[in-house]
Amino acid sequence: MSKWFGESQKLVKAAFSLAKKLSPCIIFIDEVDSFMGARSGGASDPTYNSMKTDAAFLRRMPRTFEVELPDAAQREQILRVHLRGEELAADVNLTHLARDTVHFSGSDLKELCRAALMLPLREHIDAFQAAAAAAAASSTDQSAPAVAHPASKRPVSAADFAAARTRVHATGATAYAYANEHQASDQHSSSPAITPEMLAAMMAMGMQHIMQQAAGPPPPSSRR
């Protein structure tokens, strides 16, 4: 996108023209609901939720594929991908960690792994700096005890993931709202459809109500 008038349209046209020449291919539009959101009269942030996207825009999409949040087995696979090549302690159980990260997206799991991996690294850096400071002090003071430089950082433990879990959560209320709205949408789609007979009965009741209002209240009855 460009801030200059007309440049964005040119870029979009060029992207689709190139995609047509290279077809079959896929064009990814990130946060499409930020400018193709439902026209409710108010401004809202992107939600990555198809139910918040403009209905007129969705009608022009021949196919809709919804990418749901990963389940426990998929979360375990994502964790193994991000932790590939990392040294893990014996008490780390990725299956249990996957079960404990309900509503986590792939990016949330990546951030969780990054936060856990940083804890041993920080300890290693602090120990190295302490050893360097002790070595500098011993060079001037012969009575200062010598501190050995740490050879390597320790493996990532279950305690590291527990500490990271307290700081890294599912992506705000959006993840939970997505699950609730998705469940409500499923319940709505599974509800029985209105039959023509039901529609005719409702229209008849509505017309009867309108005619009664047009006729006005009934005259008061006279007592003999």
Q: Does 101 lie in the same domain as 144?
A: yes
Residue 189 pLDDT greater than 80, yes or no = no
* DSSP conformational letter for 37: B
Crossing angle of the two packed helices 158-167 and 106-140, in degrees rounded to 10: 110
Q: Does 98 lie in the same domain as 160?
A: yes
Provide the pLDDT confidence category of residue 76 given band limits of 50, 70 and 90: very high
Domain at 78, CATH number: 1.10.8.60
- At 109, phi and psi to the nearest 5? -65, -35
Reported as a single tens digit per residue, the pLDDT across 132-149 is: 787 777 766 665 555 566
Determine the distance from the C-alpha atom of residue 175 to the mean position of all C-alpha atoms in its chain, rounded to a whole number.
5
Rg (CA), the chain: 31
How many structural domains comprise the chain? Answer: 2
Provide the pLDDT confidence category of residue 44 given band limits of 50, 70 and 90: very low
Reported as a single tens digit per residue, the pLDDT across 153-187 is: 899 999 999 999 999 988 854 555 655 666 665 55
Provide the pLDDT confidence category of residue 95 given band limits of 50, 70 and 90: very high
- At 167, phi and psi to the nearest 5? -105, -25
Q: Is residue 208, in this structure, part of any structural domain at all?
A: no
Residue 49 pLDDT greater than 60, yes or no = no
Q: Are 137 and 144 in contact (CB under 8 A)?
A: yes
State the pLDDT at residue 12. 82
pTM tops 0.95, yes or no: no
Residue where one domain finishes, among candidates 134, 153, 176: 176
Q: Are 207 and 155 in contact (CB under 8 A)?
A: no
Residue 190 pLDDT greater than 90, yes or no = no
Residue 47 pLDDT greater than 90, yes or no = no
Q: Does 98 lie in the same domain as 28?
A: no
Q: Does 111 lie in the same domain as 40?
A: no
- Under 8 Å CB-to-CB from 139, ≥6 apart: which residues? none
Q: Are 1 and 34 in contact (CB under 8 A)?
A: no
Helices (H) and strands (E) in the chain, counts: 8, 0
Residue 45 to residue 37: CA distance in whole angstroms: 9
Determine the distance from the C-alpha atom of residue 145 to the mean position of all C-alpha atoms in its chain, rounded to a whole number.
52
State the pLDDT at residue 142. 61
Q: Does 84 lie in the same domain as 52?
A: no
- Residue 108: domain span: 72-176
Average pLDDT over residues 49-54: 63
Question: Is the pLDDT higher at 109 or at 174?
Answer: 109
Q: What is the DSSP string of 83-135?
A: TTT--B-TT--HHHHHHT-TT--HHHHHHHHHHHHHHHHHHHHHHHHHHHHHH
Question: Is the pLDDT higher at 151 or at 71?
Answer: 71
Q: Does 34 lie in the same domain as 87?
A: no
Q: Does 169 lie in the same domain as 107?
A: yes
Q: What is the DSSP string of 23-36?
A: -S-----TTGGGTS
Q: Does 101 lie in the same domain as 146?
A: yes
Question: Is the pLDDT higher at 200 or at 31?
Answer: 31
